[in-house]
């Protein structure tokens, strides 16, 4: 192979060999750009976009914390005399709230945890109804959110959620 290449090069003039060398270097530069630098630049752009998204989410969360701090304190769950009794607490109350918010089919796991808590997993659920359900559970069922992990879902507006509830008094 190298003997054939040497014969081919010897058959060329000095100017042709120089032009062949420049062409080979240009092709190597193009291959390096497309094969190495291009993917690295794409990864860097994706990382920057992810950082921008995280920064925007932090700003949004700070605004929601401020909104939450400005809200009046919630009324006691029992309410004034003559008002209807709150829905049943515990797993039954949580399930009733899930049904009321149309989320029962979205639940992947409901499990009782130590200390009277409840762990819920949602493989794919719409964000808005989930937040409405969490608010209803916290204000009317005697639970507080002990932990929540949300990840962006495969479809727009959906999340994968892992929520741990603990008794409000505990």
Place 85 in a pLDDT band, splitting at 50, 70 and 90: very low
Strand order in the sheet with 109-112: 109-112, 118-126, 158-167, 143-152
Place 75 in a pLDDT band, splitting at 50, 70 and 90: low
Per-residue pLDDT tens digits for 19-58: 999 999 999 999 988 888 889 999 999 999 999 999 999 9
Q: Is residue 63 predicted with pLDDT exceeding 80?
A: yes
Range of lowest pLDDT (61-75, 80-94, 101-115, 144-158):
80-94
Per-residue pLDDT tens digits for 136-146: 887 777 788 88
Integer angstrom CA distances of residue 50 from 19, 108, 149:
45, 28, 18
* pLDDT in the model for residue 74: 62
- Average pLDDT of the chain to the nearest whole number: 84
Query: H/E element holding 163?
Result: strand 158-167
Per-residue pLDDT tens digits for 108-162: 988 888 878 889 999 999 998 898 888 888 777 778 888 999 998 888 889 999 9
Place 101 in a pLDDT band, splitting at 50, 70 and 90: confident
């Amino acid at each position: 192979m190298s003997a054939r290449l040497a014969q081919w090069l010897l058959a060329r003039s000095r100017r042709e060999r120089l032009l062949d060398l420049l062409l080979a270097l240009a092709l190597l530069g193009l291959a390096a750009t497309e094969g190495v630098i291009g993917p690295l630049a794409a990864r860097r752009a994706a990382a920057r976009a992810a950082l921008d998204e995280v920064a925007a989410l932090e700003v949004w969360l700070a605004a929601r914390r401020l909104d939450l701090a400005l809200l009046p304190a919630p009324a006691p769950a029992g309410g004034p005399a003559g008002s209807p009794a709150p829905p049943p607490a515990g797993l039954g109350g949580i399930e009733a709230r899930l049904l009321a918010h149309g989320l029962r089919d979205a639940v992947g796991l409901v499990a009782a945890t130590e200390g009277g808590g409840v762990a819920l997993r949602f493989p794919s659920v719409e964000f808005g109804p989930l937040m409405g359900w969490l608010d209803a559970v916290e204000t009317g069922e005697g639970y507080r959110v002990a932990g929540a992990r949300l990840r962006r879902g495969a479809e727009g507006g959906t999340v994968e959620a892992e929520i741990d509830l603990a008794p409000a008094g505990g």
